Amino acid sequence: MRRFLRSVVLALCLGASTAQASPERIVDGWYAHNATLIMLGAGGNIIGTVISPKRFPWMACVAPT
């Protein structure tokens, strides 16, 4: 079992090391994901959301796009 787990972890690590392009456009329906994206600096990539400035004024202030 331990050997199997090592091989799984190794495969995941090797697979994660490949370079991938970051998304240019993001659509998300859950406000917590959007808040995290804004904090990580990807707020400008969000093109669709359920968030409205009326419900979440701080998000509209931080990421007005």
Residue 58 in any domain: the answer is: yes
Residue recorded with tokens 């707020």: 43
Supply the range of the domain harboring residue 38: 23-65
Averaged pLDDT, 9-38? 77
Q: Within 13 Å, how many C-alpha atoms sit on residue 26's CB side?
A: 19
Flag whether pLDDT at 65 surpasses 80. no
In whole angstroms, what is the distance from residue 39 CA to residue 43 CA?
Answer: 8
Residue 12 in any domain: the answer is: no
Residue 44: CB atoms within 10 A of its CB come to 13
Flag whether pLDDT at 4 surpasses 70. yes
| pTM of the predicted model over 0.95 | no
User: Band of the pLDDT at 16, cuts 50, 70, 90?
Assistant: low
Residue 1 in any domain: the answer is: no
Averaged pLDDT, 14-23? 65
**Residues 6 or more apart from 48 whose CB is under 8 A from it?**
26, 27, 28
For the chain, how many structural domains are there in total? 1
Which phi and psi (to 5°) does residue 19 adopt?
-75, 135
Q: What is the pLDDT of residues 43-61, one digit of tens each?
A: 889 898 887 888 888 888 8
